[in-house]
């Protein structure tokens, strides 16, 4: 049983026990090159024996690195954020980094200053960004110009011309699959309920929808493509609107599960049976997509895994030894189609 009062082992203790200088211990803990294998083992043994863990404060005070990264987000989807945090935290623990979370308002006036101030004040050595922040190219560029290391997580694919290390989620292809699934179920009139336009994901998902319809030779009806926001209310609204229009859809592809849940709610109000009268599909696999009635067909992304890999990518770019080397700066993920009752008649 560890006792708080019991002095923590320091680098000096390890050095003494291993019979080397503290600098050598430092080399081992930092995985630096130029330490003989036998020495490394000797030191590692002492580290294990004393359960030595470097003091982060001393580290960041003495060195130029800080072992602290920041996770910046502005996302109302709590499950997404929590999963991201968990994934990042896992990677942080494995790499002896600490995580500072930083929810922000991406519409803030002086967003850039706020971020720079935060990085400076908390001595963060890098930042992980999610949409919509990760898609604001001007902010990204300014941040990089100031020498802040970044990894973006966003909707899209690696064909991008930017150089910022990024983790892409191929929403377009997943949206294509969902739409295709709807078509396979015999639907010809399929509506699309969009999310916030400032999120790239909304555009990507719409493009996937359009691609699928095009490939199936189904005419794109602009009256069936509604703009909206990523919210339950928006789904309610869009459903009400489209169902009172001239051209009524037999299926709806909502840009995320919340919109889909709203559409579901609205359809019921209108006396429509789901999926008999209208099939509804969502996106994201929000936990409550399994708790609606009927359960929602959707696209699932391995959020935690995405987060871990994004963090690992950041760490790689933070290590001077591997900097500028051949580390692949782009990672891609493919969401998975999850078919449930809301689209199966």
Partner DNA sequence: GTATAATATGACAACGCTGTCAATATAAAT
Partner DNA sequence: ATTTATATTGACAGCGTTGTCATATTATAC
Contact with its own copies (CB under 8 A) among 32, 58, 158, 320? 58
* Element at 102 (helix H, strand E): strand 98-103
Pick the closer one to DNA by CB: 37 or 217.
37
d(CA 151, CA 11): 32
The tokens of 140 are what? 């990204």
Please, which residues bridge with residue 129 across strands? 72, 152
Pick the closer one to its own copies by CB: 51 or 219.
51
Q: Does 288 bind its own copies (CB under 8 A)?
A: yes
Pick the closer one to DNA by CB: 62 or 94.
62
CA distances from 263 to 143, 268, 320 (A): 39, 9, 50
Residue 166 partner contact from DNA, its own copies, none using kind-dependent CB cut-offs of 5 to 8 Å: none
CA atoms in the 13 A half-sphere facing the CB of 67:
19
List of E strands, 156-307: 166-169, 190-193, 225-226, 251-254, 279-281, 298-300
Q: Does 4 bind its own copies (CB under 8 A)?
A: yes
Q: Does 148 bind its own copies (CB under 8 A)?
A: yes
CA atoms in the 13 A half-sphere facing the CB of 154:
29
Q: Does 144 bind its own copies (CB under 8 A)?
A: no
> By CB neighbour count within 10 A (0-12 exposed, 13-18 middle, 19+ buried), where does 77 fall?
middle
Pick the closer one to its own copies by CB: 61 or 158.
61
d(CA 343, CA 176): 15
Binding mask 97-136 for its own copies (x = CB under 8 A): -xxxx-x--------xx--xx-xxxxx-------------
Residue 35 partner contact from DNA, its own copies, none using kind-dependent CB cut-offs of 5 to 8 Å: DNA
- To its own copies, the closest distance from the beta carbon of 60 in angstroms equals 5
d(CA 10, CA 205): 53
- To DNA, the closest distance from the beta carbon of 194 in angstroms equals 48
Asked whether 18 and 46 are in contact (CB, 8 A), the reply is yes
- To DNA, the closest distance from the beta carbon of 10 in angstroms equals 3
Residue 271 partner contact from DNA, its own copies, none using kind-dependent CB cut-offs of 5 to 8 Å: none
- To DNA, the closest distance from the beta carbon of 321 in angstroms equals 11
Residues lying near its own copies in the complex (CB under 8 A)? 1-5, 8, 53, 55-58, 60-61, 66, 78-79, 81-82, 85-86, 89, 98-101, 103, 112-113, 116-117, 119-123, 146-148, 232, 258, 261-262, 264-265, 268-269, 287-288, 290-293
């Amino acid at each position: 049983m560890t006792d708080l009062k019991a002095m923590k082992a320091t680098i000096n203790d390890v050095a003494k026990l291993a019979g080397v200088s503290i600098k050598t211990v430092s080399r081992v803990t930092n995985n630096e090159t130029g330490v003989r294998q036998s020495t490394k083992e000797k030191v590692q043994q002492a580290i294990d024996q004393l359960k030595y863990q470097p003091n982060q404060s001393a580290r960041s005070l003495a060195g130029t690195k800080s072992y602290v990264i920041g996770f910046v987000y502005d996302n109302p989807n709590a499950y997404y954020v929590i999963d991201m945090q968990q994934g990042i935290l896992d990677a942080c623990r494995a790499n002896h980094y600490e995580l500072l979370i930083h929810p922000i308002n991406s519409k803030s006036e002086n967003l850039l200053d706020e971020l720079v101030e935060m990085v400076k004040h908390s001595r963060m050595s890098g930042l992980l960004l999610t949409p919509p922040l990760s898609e604001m190219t001007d902010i990204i560029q300014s941040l990089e110009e100031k020498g802040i290391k970044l990894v973006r997580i966003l909707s899209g694919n690696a064909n991008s011309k930017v150089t910022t290390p990024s983790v892409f989620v191929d929403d377009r292809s997943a949206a294509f699959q969902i739409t295709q699934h709807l078509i396979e179920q015999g639907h010809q009139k399929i509506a699309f309920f969009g999310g916030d336009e400032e999120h790239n994901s909304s555009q990507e998902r719409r493009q996937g929808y359009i691609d699928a319809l095009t490939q199936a030779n189904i005419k794109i009806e602009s009256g069936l493509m509604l703009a909206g926001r990523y919210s339950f209310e928006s789904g309610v609204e869009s459903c009400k609107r489209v169902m009172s229009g001239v051209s009524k859809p037999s299926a709806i592809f909502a840009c995320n599960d919340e919109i889909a849940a709203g559409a579901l709610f609205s359809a019921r109000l209108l006396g429509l049976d789901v999926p008999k009268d209208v099939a509804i599909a969502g996106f994201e696999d929000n936990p409550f997509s399994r708790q609606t009635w009927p359960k929602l067909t959707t696209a699932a992304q391995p959020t935690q895994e995405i987060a871990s890999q994004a963090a690992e990518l950041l760490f790689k770019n933070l290590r001077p030894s591997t900097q500028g080397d051949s580390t692949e700066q782009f990672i891609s993920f493919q969401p998975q189609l999850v078919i449930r009752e809301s689209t199966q008649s």
